[in-house]
Homo-oligomer: A and B are copies of this chain.
Amino acid sequence: MNKIITIGREFGSGGREIGRILAEILKFAYYDREIISEISKRTSLSEKYVQNIAEQKPVIPFPIHTGRTFWAVIPDYGQSVHSEQHNIIREAASKSDCIIVGRGADYVLRELKPFRIFVYSDDESKLKRCRENQSHDYEKGAEMSDKELIKRISQINKARADYYEFYTGLKWGDKVNYDLCINTSAISPKKIAENIAEFFKCSC
């Protein structure tokens, strides 16, 4: 059976960088934005659009009252993206040893018993990381005050939490759903990745 590591991550906590380095150390395949590109190809939706809805719980525009039951109207695109995302995650896990960042992969692949990591950090550290990486992670960050940027980061993390909880019924970032939760505020991504690799080897 392939070895699988999933990394849940607060926005601004370095999950992507840690995942990349860990994949290099372990020689595992790495999936993060690659999943977005693949969904885009399969659905013919733009990458930007897919990115926007890939980690959002479905928008429920209005309830329709049918008999005694309220039915939620879920846009088709959101469902397609979500469904393709699950397919791609499962395909990735079946292909080779891999690391999958975000997208509820720990839950999607729960029967394969992945090694489940969650990374988080304090606001100051998130802010610093976002300022450093804003060209990649957050285009408009430079125009924002610290307070505005912290608020925006919180909104992104709230959306991730909502998505995770909507599709899994579990609490995003709750330690009981992970094998290792790491505060990334004070240790470099490289050191964290090296240490995760050691932890992971012990768990196999």
Using a CB–CB cutoff of 8 Å, the interface residues on chain A facing chain B are 118, 120, 173, 175-176, 178-183, 186-188, 191-192, 194-195, 198-199, 202-203
Contact = CB atoms under 8 A, between A and B. Distances in A.
A105 B108 CA distance: 38
A187 B202 contact: yes
| A contacts with B: majority SS | mixed
A23 to B, nearest CB: 19
A52 to B, nearest CB: 28
Nearest to A122: B176
A182 B117 CA distance: 10
A202 B199 CA distance: 15
27 contacts: A118-B175, A120-B175, A120-B176, A173-B175, A175-B175, A175-B181, A175-B183, A176-B183, A178-B183, A179-B182, A179-B183, A179-B186, A180-B180, A180-B181, A180-B183, A181-B181, A181-B182, A186-B203, A187-B199, A187-B202, A187-B203, A188-B202, A194-B198, A195-B195, A195-B198, A195-B202, A198-B198
